[in-house]
Homo-oligomer: A and B are copies of this chain.
Amino acid sequence: MAGTDAVSVRVFSLNCWGIRYLSKHCPQRYAMIGELLSKEEHDIVLLQEVWSEKDYLYLKKTLACSHPHSHYFKSGVIGSGLAIFSKHRIHDTFLYRYSLNGYPYMAHHGDWFGGKAVGLAIINIGSQTANVYVTHLHAEYCREKDSYLPHRVVQAWELQQFIRHTSAGADVVILGGDLNMHPQDLGNRLLRSYTGLRDSYLETAKFDGCEDGITLIADNPFTNKKELIPFEKGIRIDYILFKGSSEIDIHCDSMSTTKGSVSGHPFPYSDHEALTAELRLESVKAGGDRQSKTQAAGSGKLAELVDIVTEARTEVKVGLHCAERMRYTAARTGVMGLALLLLELAIAAVPWFAMGAEQPFPRTSFYLLAALCFAILLTTTLLYIFYTMELKSLQGAEDQMRLAVGSLQEKLRGFPLAQPHNAARKPPEGQEPSAFDSEE
């Protein structure tokens, strides 16, 4: 590690609501965002919903001096909407596309077309390696009857997997984005408990922003107030999370959000509020103090994690049940379409064979009905394929969760011999992995 001097890193995150020709005042808002960013000169800027590459290129040009390094993550039909700008060089990037992301026929919700994903950029800040993640999960359109909940839980599961597995070599981990989850939502607890990521809003002593840190506020002129009910003032769904490593301690010195209106401008930056966190990186001082503290807290946290993963598994099972029912409906409708087609062909063929060339079936109705049958067959086939893929992803996530619960319980039984999750992955020396229960 470098010297003992602390390094300060300012991180910015904003959901830009950048649907060209649909989002209000899009070009003006991008100009405002560009102006803000080039003035503030944050170290790392994480943007979501930059749906048009042209807007990304506009920002890239505007921020050429303040943020010479950038990357735009592409996926789905429209793109992932994820972009990162950095004062420090980006050495490497990687994109993980979530296996589940809504339904293509729910075109008015549009999430499927966006190809939701988590982008990773590896950035060197001074002598430290920072793994910086930016993501945007599936939106919640109706909290009471949230049909996308299993998808979002699987996204949160894959997000924590991706972060855990890719961050072993990092000194610092930073995640920013629109998680579309309230602070105590299942997916959020899963993410934070499993990865050990800390919430900058909860960690900071100095906060300046909207009450309760809300980022989707009722006061914002672009927000639909009705959609926020029963949360009158608004909800907190955008986050900057972080964690250090065995060599680097990280603290959040201050945290702020925008508060809707922007002085000197007639409207805010976006329908979401922007977040800024000031993080301080410090080399860990030698001594076993940290290790023993983690050990003590580990057992309780592991038990909590087992509960959370079990809860997530239950939610995925609900999704599995639902997807199975939808696939069954698609199959049944398809079979009915096929039966109708065969029936029609039989009716048309019988008098033809029996009574010669006379055809009592009106031709127009015949062709219209046949076209309808073909349309039903095609649609249900496509739906059947889609639901089968959804089922495979849900089953895959459930399998992984079952294995994880088994492994965590194993660890819990071995406590305090086994080490907590966030420490090195290796079991204590010479301890052979035992097999109380077989996973899978």
Give the contacts of A138-174 with B (CB-CB under 8 A): 161-162, 165-166, 168-171
Residue of B nearest to A384 (CB): B77
Contacts A367-B364, A388-B77 given; indicate if A399 touches B429 (C-beta within 8 A).
no
**Interchain CB contact under 8 A, A430 and B392:** no
Complex: A102 Cα to B440 Cα, angstroms: 30
Nearest CB of chain B from residue A131's CB, rounded to whole Å: 9
Q: Please give the number of chain A residues whose Cβ is less than 8 angstroms from any Cβ of chain B in the complex.
A: 80
Q: Is A207 an interface residue (CB 8 A)?
A: no
**Interchain CB contact under 8 A, A72 and B440:** yes
Complex: A368 Cα to B352 Cα, angstroms: 21
Copies of this protein chain in the complex = 2
**Interchain CB contact under 8 A, B433 and A94:** no
Contacting residues, chain B, for A94 (C-beta < 8 A) = 161-162, 165, 400
Which segment, of A84-92, A226-234, A257-265, A300-308, faces chain B?
A84-92
Complex: A115 Cα to B60 Cα, angstroms: 35
Nearest CB of chain B from residue A13's CB, rounded to whole Å: 19
**Interchain CB contact under 8 A, A396 and B75:** yes
Nearest CB of chain B from residue A124's CB, rounded to whole Å: 5
Q: Is A24 an interface residue (CB 8 A)?
A: no
Residue of B nearest to A68 (CB): B438
**Interchain CB contact under 8 A, A75 and B89:** no
Nearest CB of chain B from residue A378's CB, rounded to whole Å: 7
**Interchain CB contact under 8 A, B72 and A427:** no
Contacting residues, chain B, for A400 (C-beta < 8 A) = 93-95
* Residues of A bordering B, CB below 8 Å: 1-3, 60, 64, 68-77, 79, 88-97, 99, 104, 115, 120, 122, 124, 126-129, 161-162, 165-166, 168-171, 363-364, 367-368, 371, 374-375, 378, 382, 385, 388-389, 392-393, 395-396, 399-400, 403-404, 407, 410, 424-427, 429-435, 438-440
6 contacts between A and B (CB under 8 A): A69-B438, A75-B389, A76-B389, A91-B407, A129-B426, A169-B424
